[in-house]
C-alpha cells in the first residue's frame, strides 16, 4: 500500500522533476514527510509567492516545467500573483497546493480556500483531486498540459485526507494516453503558408515582429534562417529578446513603448508585418489604430485564440513557430535580398537614432548595464524586476541567445525578478545569473536573501537604487506635473541587510567604482549584492505616451538633426 503523498512523489519523479520550491504547512505535511526521505530536492523559500516565481524562473531558464508547493488557504492564495504571471507569459509551471480534508470542503474550515475557483481564470487548467488513485494520472496530465501547445501554469489541489489515503498500487489509475478535447495544432496549414510566401515575395518593406513564442518553441535558429533567407529586418518584443543575436545585422532590438526609435519607425513604415509568436500587446502597439498602418499582416501563433484578438491578420497561421518557420524556409525559393532599399533605409534609421546614454560623469543606470554586458561578454542569464530597471536592462544589455533574458512581461509583477533569479540559478548551476532590480521592487521579496544565504545561491544582485518607485515617478514627472505622490522611498542600507544574512555586498556611488565592483561581484564564488546609487530622476527614453502612435516618441535621440 502507498499513501497519496507517496504516489505524488513517485509521479513527480516519473515526470523528471529534480527541484521543488515550496513552503510547508499543515495541509501538506504528508507530502513534506515523504520529501524527508526522498531524493527530490526541495528549496525552502521564505514566502509562497517566491516559490512560484522561483519555479517560473527555473522553467524559463531551463525550458522544463517548474514545480512549486504550498499549503492550503493563505499559502495557496499567496501563489496567485505568481501563477497569473506565468499564465500571462505562457510559462510551464505546476503548482501543488494542500487542501482541507474532502469532508470539510465548503465548510469554511480553518485555512480553507477555493483555490481551484480562485485560479481558474489564471491557469491553463486545474484539478481538485478527491481520490488518491487519481494522483498519478492527474500529475501526468498536468505536466502534459503545462508543457505543450501554448505553455502555461496548471494547479493541482490535494486535500489532506487524499494525501494520507492508503492505496493498493494495482488500483492506481494509469496515465492517460490522450486528453480528450486537448489537441494543440502544431503544424501550420500548407495553404496558408503558401499564401504567406506569396505575400512576402510581393512586399517591398517587410518586417518580422518576433515575440516570446519564438523562445518558448525553441525557434530561434529557424527565425534567423528565415530572416536571412529573405533578408528581412527583425524587431522583438520584451519577451522575444534573445530570439536573434543582439549584433545580428538584421536585428532592430525591441519595439513598443520603450522600444528603439528605429524599430518603431520600421513598424510604422513597413508594408508587410510578419508576427511570430507575438500577441499585439498594447505596450507594443501603442494606439493600435496607427500600428503598422500601411502593412498587410501575417500572424503565426500556436494559440488560435490570439489570432484576430487585437489585430485582424490578412493571413493567419495556427501552429508552432519552429515548425511553421521551418516549413516556410523549405517551401521558399532562394531569391536573395529582394528588398535591399528597405534594409538600407532601416540601417540609416539605426545609425541616426541610437539608444542614448549620457556622458556627464554622473552614475547613470544605462552605463552600469552596458558595463555588465561588456564584462560578461553579453553572456550569463539576466533576470529583471519590473519598472525602469527592467526597461534599461532590456534596452542596453546585449542578449545573444534565447532563455538568457527572464522578466515578467505580461503582468509586470514587481517582486518577480529576485526569486525568479534564484530559480534560474538552480536550473543552470554553471551559468552566471544576475538579477537587475530597483530598490522598490527588490524590497518586495527581500526576505529571499534568507533563501540565497541558506543554499549559498551564487546569485549576483544589482540594485539600481534611485530611492523612488522609478517608473511611476517618471509618469508623475511627465504626465502629473512632477507631483510625486507616494513614490519616494527612504534610503535603505541594502549592503547592511545582506551582511545580516551573511551575504557580501558593496555600495557604489561613483562611475569609477562601477567596473571594479561588477568584476568583484562576478568573480566572487558566492552571492554578492551591489547597491548602485544612480541619478535619482533618470528616465527611460525613448517613450511612447499611452494612447499615442508608436512613432510619436518622446525623449528621442538623433545623432543627426532632423526626423528620419
How does DSSP assign 416-438, residue by residue?
Answer: -HHHHHHHHHHH-TTS-EEEEEE
Distance of CA 469 to the CA centre of its chain: 21
Q: What is the DSSP letter of 482?
A: T
Q: Which SS3 state, helix, strand or coil, does residue 552 take?
A: coil
C-alpha cell at 108: 469554511
Residue 372 backbone dihedrals phi, psi, to 5 degrees? -60, -45
Residue 357 exposed, middle or buried by CB count within 10 Å (0-12, 13-18, 19+): middle
- Residues designated as active site: 48, 110-111, 160, 471
Q: Are 58 and 426 in contact (CB under 8 A)?
A: yes
User: Taking Cα atoms as reference points, which of 238, 288, 243, 247 lies closest to residue 267?
Assistant: 288
Residue 490 CB coordination number (10 Å)? 6
Q: Are 445 and 512 in contact (CB under 8 A)?
A: no
For 292, residues 6+ apart whose C-beta sits below 8 A from its C-beta are 267, 268, 270, 273
Q: What is the CA radius of gyration of the chain?
A: 24
C-alpha cell at 30: 504528508
Alpha helices by DSSP H, listed for 168-269, are 190-202, 212-216, 220-230, 261-269
C-alpha cell at 376: 560578461
User: Pairing between strand 234-236 and 381-384?
Assistant: unpaired
Amino acid at each position: 500500500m502507498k499513501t497519496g503523498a507517496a504516489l505524488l512523489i513517485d509521479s513527480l519523479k516519473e515526470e523528471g522533476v529534480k527541484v521543488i520550491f515550496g513552503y510547508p504547512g499543515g495541509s501538506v505535511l504528508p507530502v513534506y514527510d515523504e520529501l524527508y526521505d526522498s531524493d527530490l530536492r526541495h528549496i525552502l523559500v521564505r514566502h509562497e509567492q517566491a516559490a512560484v516565481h522561483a519555479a517560473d524562473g527555473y522553467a524559463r531558464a531551463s525550458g522544463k516545467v517548474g514545480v512549486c508547493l504550498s499549503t492550503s488557504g493563505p499559502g495557496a492564495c499567496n501563489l496567485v500573483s505568481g501563477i497569473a504571471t506565468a499564465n500571462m507569459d505562457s510559462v510551464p509551471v505546476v503548482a501543488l497546493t494542500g487542501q482541507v480534508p474532502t469532508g470539510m470542503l465548503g465548510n469554511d474550515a480553518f485555512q480553507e480556500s477555493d483555490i481551484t475557483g480562485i485560479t481558474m481564470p489564471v491557469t491553463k487548467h486545474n484539478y481538485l483531486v478527491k481520490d488518491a488513485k487519481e494522483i498519478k494520472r492527474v500529475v501526468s496530465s498536468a505536466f502534459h498540459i503545462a508543457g505543450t501547445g501554448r505553455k502555461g501554469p496548471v494547479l493541482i489541489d490535494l486535500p489532506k485526507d487524499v494525501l494520507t489515503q492508503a492505496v493498493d498500487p494495482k488500483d492506481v489509475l494509469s496515465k492517460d494516453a490522450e486528453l480528450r478535447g486537448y489537441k494543440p495544432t502544431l503544424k501550420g496549414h500548407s495553404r496558408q503558408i503558401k499564401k504567406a510566401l506569396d505575400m512576402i515575395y510581393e512586399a517591398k518593406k517587410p518586417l518580422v515582429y518576433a515575440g516570446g513564442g519564438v523562445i518558448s518553441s525553441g525557434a530561434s535558429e529557424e527565425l534567423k534562417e528565415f530572416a536571412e533567407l529573405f533578408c528581412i529586418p527583425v524587431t522583438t518584443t520584451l519577451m522575444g529578446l534573445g530570439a536573434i543575436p543582439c549584433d545580428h545585422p538584421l536585428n532592430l532590438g525591441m519595439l513598443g513603448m520603450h522600444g528603439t526609435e528605429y524599430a518603431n519607425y520600421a513598424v510604422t513604415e513597413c508594408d508587410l508585418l510578419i508576427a511570430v509568436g507575438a500577441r499585439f500587446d498594447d505596450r507594443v502597439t501603442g494606439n493600435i489604430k496607427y500600428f503598422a498602418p500601411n502593412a498587410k499582416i501575417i500572424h503565426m501563433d500556436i494559440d488560435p485564440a490570439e489570432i484576430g484578438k487585437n489585430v485582424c491578420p490578412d493571413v493567419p497561421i495556427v501552429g508552432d513557430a519552429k515548425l511553421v518557420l521551418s516549413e516556410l524556409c523549405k517551401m521558399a525559393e532562394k531569391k536573395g535580398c529582394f528588398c535591399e532599399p528597405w534594409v538600407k533605409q532601416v540601417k540609416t534609421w539605426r545609425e541616426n537614432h541610437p539608444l542614448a546614454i549620457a556622458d556627464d560623469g554622473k552614475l547613470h543606470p544605462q552605463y552600469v548595464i552596458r558595463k555588465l554586458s561588456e564584462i560578461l561578454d553579453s553572456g550569463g542569464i539576466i533576470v529583471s524586476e519590473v519598472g525602469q530597471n527592467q526597461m534599461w536592462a532590456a534596452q542596453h544589455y546585449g542578449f545573444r541567445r534565447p532563455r538568457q533574458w527572464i522578466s515578467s512581461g505580461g503582468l509586470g509583477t514587481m517582486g518577480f525578478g529576485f526569486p525568479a533569479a534564484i530559480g534560474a540559478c538552480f536550473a543552470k548551476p554553471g551559468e552566471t545569473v544576475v538579477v537587475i532590480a530597483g530598490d522598490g521592487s527588490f524590497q518586495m521579496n527581500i526576505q529571499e536573501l534568507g533563501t540565497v544565504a541558506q543554499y549559498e545561491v551564487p546569485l549576483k544582485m544589482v540594485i539600481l537604487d534611485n530611492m523612488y518607485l522609478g517608473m511611476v515617478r517618471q509618469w508623475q514627472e511627465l504626465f502629473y506635473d512632477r507631483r510625486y505622490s507616494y513614490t519616494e522611498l527612504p534610503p535603505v542600507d541594502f549592503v547592511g541587510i545582506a551582511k545580516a544574512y551573511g551575504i557580501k555586498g558593496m555600495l557604489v556611488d561613483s562611475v569609477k567604482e562601477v567596473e571594479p565592483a561588477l568584476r568583484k561581484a562576478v568573480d566572487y564564488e558566492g552571492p554578492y549584492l551591489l547597491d548602485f546609487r544612480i541619478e535619482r530622476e533618470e528616465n527611460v527614453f525613448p517613450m511612447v505616451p499611452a494612447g499615442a502612435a508608436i512613432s510619436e516618441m518622446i525623449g528621442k535621440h538623433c545623432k543627426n538633426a532632423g526626423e528620419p
